[in-house]
Structure 1
């Protein structure tokens, strides 16, 4: 199993604190390669302190110059928010600068505040994502930019610098809802799983995804990657307390940023799953969904963290784990201790785990 470090640059809400957040997060990212992580991941978000990395490709170019062998992943670039020409160009430059270490993760977005702030109708996210993904992926494979679609019209142009390495085995997409999972199979991407619902439900989505991928592409789907929020401590009680405080606070920020209980999902095309989630939150209350989120994550002693990852893997068949070790106002010292312990006592065991047999997994799951 590959193990990555995922940085989210989560702020405190006070703009005066943003520079400190960046200073601390960059210091932790500098530790990822020396500690033995296989990947560094960053995601894209705008306008709030929920996650303050509006340009993950820019950040990863910086990390490419500070590292030697570690892979660099975007988790994810939100395609509907961008000109596909610039995405293809920036991805190519990053991949050339890092000598082929880039893993291209993309997504279609969820935050209304971001769609509105960037001037993109949220109703169009699904269609824009598919159209943009086709343009970008074709350009990365052929070196040619061209489109005559509903949203993007691009006269035939060469992509320069020209890509030199295929992304066919380095392509992922963030997906939570069943609608997104099916779209990602259509474009041929592996799945980046950000846990927000029971693992049994995710496992069912993955079975549908693998079947659709096989039908459309004629080959087996790549194994997914899972992002997990980590609270690791030698003391079980301290680890539990960390999870109850920091993972809970993180998910409260998710609820706020995405307005997950909002009524706007009722009239937004392509977000049917979130309409159901909003209804669930309204009935059960936010404390219930926060508790559920905590229970999906990776916390406890190193042994408990390992067992939790293996339980997740037994259900969804992931061959990668991206650990989020700094979030919700953790001090740099606490986040570093969390990261170092996970790297020293959990990660080596995970790296020994063999590849998943999906035929066996799907048979057991039925």
Structure 2
């Protein structure tokens, strides 16, 4: 199994934004020497939830600081971008990194972000489909051209010309069954950011795999799973870390995305989140926070491995990306968390063979 490290640059009150950036960049510099296969970044705007407004900029910087590690976007949120500029940036990043870029894309969820860009959330699904079609066609052919509802692009060359295809390096962030089917249509593998029971995820993936096979005529690629990690030799301390940091992170998720809000009821394309919001309104936030903690990777090194194996048995992923610094961890706590996982868990995860879910 491939093992990656994800940097999210989450802000908190105990450090300035500049200090948070310096800490996260120092940890990112450890990914290659510690033996990780990939380094991933995310995209978010306008709050301290995560502070990478341009994930391709971050990865281009890291391309110049690394030699072998893959660089993944988890994800570029297409409705918030000019698709021409995305295609150009991706082409440049893949060339300067010598083919190490893994293109992850998504359609977005945060109302504060859509409103900040002046893009109606209800348009996100159609905008995503058009932008993805435009961008992937340009990366395949070197030609920018599109005539759609939202994007009308006269025929132009994409320069520099892409040097390689992205057939096996294209992924999309998806949680809802509705998004999963869209991702199968564009030929993307699935980036799983766990928010619901793994058996529910497995059911969604079964539909995705069937749709992918029907449309593409070949088996879908195995998914990649992201997990929030709290690893410690002491099981009690690890449990306490999970409650404090993983729970604290998800409380921020609830606030940033307004997951208990009623705006999903009137927003086209977010049917899954309508159901989630009603559940939160009915049962309260504490229950979903506890559920999120149980989905993640925490415990002693042995316990962390067991959790990763259990996930793989359900969803058949061939990659795991760990988040090691979040929710106000001190730099020392984050680095210890990262180094212990890299030394005691990662070698055994890499040795895991493929599993049919």
Q: Is TM-score (shorter-chain normalized) higher than 0.5?
A: yes
Aligned partners of 2:328 and 2:256: how far apart in 1?
Answer: 16
Match of 2:6 in 1: 6
Partner of 2:70: 71
Match of 1:364 in 2: none
Contact 1:13 1:49 in 2 (8 A): no
1:66 partner SS? coil
1:50-74 C-alpha deviation (Å, 9 max, x unpaired): 0000000000000000000000000
Q: Which residue in 2 is equivalent to 1:141?
A: 140
- Secondary structure class of the residue paired with 2:9: coil
CA distance in 1: counterparts of 2:13 and 2:135, whole angstroms: 35
**Gapped runs of 5+ residues in structure 2?**
none
Structure 2-normalised TM-score? Answer: 0.99
Matched positions, count? 357
Instruction: Give the Cα separation in 1 of the matches to 2:247 and 2:116.
Output: 27
Runs (4+) of structure 1 exceeding 4 A deviation are none
Q: Which residue of 2 aligns with 1:101?
A: 100
Checking the alignment, whether the CA contact within 8 Å between 1:232 and 1:341 is kept in structure 2 is yes
2:41 is aligned to 42
Distance, in Å, in 1 between the alignment partners of 2:175 and 2:147 is 30
CA distance in 2, matches of 1:147, 1:206: 30
Q: CA RMSD in A?
A: 0.8
- Work out the CA distance in 2 between the residues paired with 1:333 and 1:356: 35
Q: Partner residue of 2:130?
A: 131
In the superposition, the TM-score normalised over structure 1's length comes to: 0.97
- 1:331-346 map, 5 Å: 331-346=330-345
Displacement of 1:201 in angstroms is 0.3
- Once the two structures are TM-superposed, the CA of residue 13 in structure 1 deviates from its matched residue by 5.0
Between the aligned partners of 1:54 and 1:233, the Cα distance in structure 2 is 32
8 Å CA contact retained: 1:227, 1:322: yes
How far residue 157 of structure 1 moved from its aligned partner, in angstroms, is 0.5
Hey, what's the Cα distance between the residues in 2 that align with 1:38 and 1:216?
30
Task: Give, in whole Å, the separation in 2 of the partners of 1:150 and 1:283.
Answer: 38
Question: 2 CA distance for matches of 1:286 and 1:308?
Answer: 24
Matching residue of 1:325:
324
1:246-257 superposed matches below 5 A: 246-257=245-256
Cα separation, 1, equivalents of 2:2 and 2:75:
18
Distance 2:350 2:219 in 1: 23
